[in-house]
Amino acid sequence: MVHVLNTGGTISYGAPGADGATLTHSPDQVLSALGTTARIAYREVLRKGSVNMMPSDWQTIAAAARAAVAEGADGIVILHGTDTMAFTAAALSFMLERLPVPVIFTGSMRPGGAPDSDAPRNMRDAVRVAAAGDLAEVCIVFSRDAVGSGSLILRGNRSRKASATALNAFASPGYPPLGSLRGRVIRYGQAARQSRARRGDVALSAELNPNVCWIPYHPGCAPDFVAGALARADGAVIAGTGLGHLPTDGGFLEAVRDSQKPVVLVSACWHAQVRLGPYDIDRAILATENLIPGHDLTPEAAVVKLMWVLGREQALDRVRARMQEPIAGELTATSERVE
């Protein structure tokens, strides 16, 4: 039995009318016509556009997924809006511990009630992976190309939305796809993945501190702005340039240091990891005690993980350690990196 949990998003929008599309479509209307052999149990957990999703909603969705496993689900599909899907998928990857079955996120780029919607294809493939995939982790299943000829299976906390319009809207820039699906055939890649496991109790580790801000550095980003943002937050993620560089002139690093808040450093580049050391300016960056290199974390995963870590750790050394160790495959351990 595959449990399908709907949370809203474009997949739950009807065909556009005079006043635009609205959240009036019920995806369960097409589940019976997907052409899969899996038995399906459908439940509506939320009905929201994903731009309105909040960390408290992640906790609601995680609790619903855990309940589905307890009820005997062989796999779970979560229908979600695409704009913040990567955040929610990352959150569930940290919140759901000891998963025995796949938890698959999918959605659509065109309203689910529109005649040309990509929703049926994406739901069909997500249900097939949830029912038969040898996975026990949180993934995103979405179209692999612009014509919907199949789907990619991406690790949820490694995924990013790459296009606002294309049907193949998601990519995993820092980690290979876990697999792909064409028709009924699932093929796995070489990337390490969690396989299905013996069913047991799924631990729900849902404590969060959502008071985290995300600051993308740009030339002219004033130290006073950074200081003000950090004064109101309990932690931050800063997207630096290239290998994770931040300006060493003008007081930027001093504003970070003086906040005494944990600040995780990621790269603003699509294909990148933070790697400090080759340049002379790196010494000043590395000497900023509360600045934590985020290695190859995506910005989305870094923000969510910092919320999750701050929900259980306050001491800077403990926050640093937890942020730099893999929890659910979201970053590559130093010993595993290939330079």
Radius of gyration of the chain (CA): 20
- Residue tagged active-site, from 145, 201, 279, 317: 279
Given the residues 10, 36, 84, 106, select the one marked as catalytic: 10
Could you confirm whether 83 is annotated as catalytic?
Answer: yes
List 57, 83, 125, 296, catalytic entry? 83
7, 36, 82, 106: the active-site residue? 82
Rounded CA separation 63/304 (Å):
17
Angle between helix 85-95 and helix 299-310 axes, rounded to 10 deg:
40
Q: Is 60 a catalytic residue?
A: no
> How many residues are given for the chain?
339
User: For the packed helices 299-310 and 316-324, what is the interaxial angle rounded to 10 degrees?
Assistant: 140
**Catalytic choice (161, 217, 261, 305):** 161
Q: Is 188 a catalytic residue?
A: no
Pairing of β 96-97 and β 203-204: antiparallel
Residues 6 or more apart from 64 whose CB is under 8 A from it?
5, 43, 45
CA 260 to chain CA mean position, Å? 27
56: exposed, middle or buried (C-beta count within 10 Å: 0-12, 13-18, 19+)?
exposed
Coil, strand or helix: which one is 194?
Answer: coil
The catalytic residue positions are 10, 82-83, 161, 279
